[in-house]
Amino acid sequence: MARTAPDDTTAACLAWVARVARPLCDIASPDTAMALLDDACVRVDGCGSVASDTRRRRRGVLSSMLDHAVSRGVLGANPLSGLTTRRARSSDAINPRTIPDYTQAGRLLRAIETSTNPTDRYLHAFFTLAYLAGTRPGETRAIRDQDIIWPEHVTDPDAAPGWGVLVAGGSRTEVDASYTDDGQNGEDRGLKGREQDAVRMVPLPPEAVAVLRHHIATYGGAPDGRLFWHHTARKMYDVLPGKVYRRTWRRARATALTDAERAL
């Protein structure tokens, strides 16, 4: 059965791939394979290379592609197999001077809570959870009211009075609608580095419980239960974009921290 001719958009994409892609026979040697990996690890802005963790992931993707070519009989061997490269120096250590201590965090949260900007006040619970529950931005965006076990519903007899539990079970990513399957901004994903249906039980101290109660009483929730969203001209309960909460954080730093503290 003859194949139907591709439409103009598909034909243009295929022509672009044919123009920029290298034939497999050109990367059959370790040197050319490593050169291709180097090209794939240039930052989007062209200024330097990507981080070492990103390079390691991209090498894994390229190696899997070459393994597939070997399995199909296109290549005789994977040219990356057995190759070792000098690993860039990196450190997982955190400079404690750049992490707000209890007093500084309190000043930052109070600056957000008492701000004259309504968006800042709306995000007070967002940043409170980040500090007291350690949630990532994507996890915080995904929190729904049904993910909170309030102190009066905690059944553990050994639980501390006034403490609740947050059942973190996913992450709401910030992805433009043009890149999602359903045409909506953002995607629901599992917790980072865990199985798709895994959950993380996070203790909520009384301060966080009080802030969450106030947030829900003041702002309510989205139709799907999310506690944090963003109103846009296109959508009433859109995904909360990073640029919004980063602006709030910058304003709080300018208000709550000294010049010396901001310089760290």
> 149-157 contacts: CB < 8 A, separation 24 or more?
150/209, 151/206, 151/209
Q: Transcribe 110-139 into DSSP letters.
A: HHHHT-SSHHHHHTHHHHHHHHHT---HHH
Which CATH number is 99-262 given?
1.10.443.10
**C-alpha dist (Å) from residue 119 to 27, 85, 104, 232, 249:** 52, 48, 21, 13, 11
Asked if the model's pLDDT at residue 126 lies above 80, the reply is yes
In angstroms, the CA 195 to CA 248 distance is 32
Over residues 212-226, mean pLDDT: 93
Asked if the model's pLDDT at residue 13 lies above 70, the reply is yes
In angstroms, the CA 158 to CA 223 distance is 35
Q: pLDDT tens, 46-78?
A: 888 888 888 889 999 999 989 998 999 988 899
Q: pLDDT tens, 89-102?
A: 655 567 777 788 88
User: CB-based contacts of 83: which residues, under 8 Å, 6+ apart?
Assistant: 30, 33, 34
**Both structure tokens of 240:** 């909360």
pLDDT at position 200: 81
In angstroms, the CA 100 to CA 131 distance is 10
Could you state, in order of their start, the residue ranges of all structural domains in the chain?
Answer: 12-71, 99-262
Q: Transcribe 156-219 into DSSP letters.
A: -TTSPTT-EEEEE--EEE---GGGSTTSSS-EEE--TTS-TT--EEEEE-HHHHHHHHHHHHHH
Furthest CA-CA distance within the chain: 73
pLDDT band with cut points at 50, 70 and 90 for residue 217: very high
Find out whether 98 and 264 touch, Cβ atoms under 8 Å: yes
Query: How many residues does the structure list for the chain?
Result: 264
Average pLDDT taken over every residue of the chain: 85
Find out whether 107 and 238 touch, Cβ atoms under 8 Å: no
Choose among 90, 88, 192, 188: nearest CA to 136: 192
Asked if the model's pLDDT at residue 170 lies above 80, the reply is no
pLDDT at position 228: 94
pTM over 0.85: no
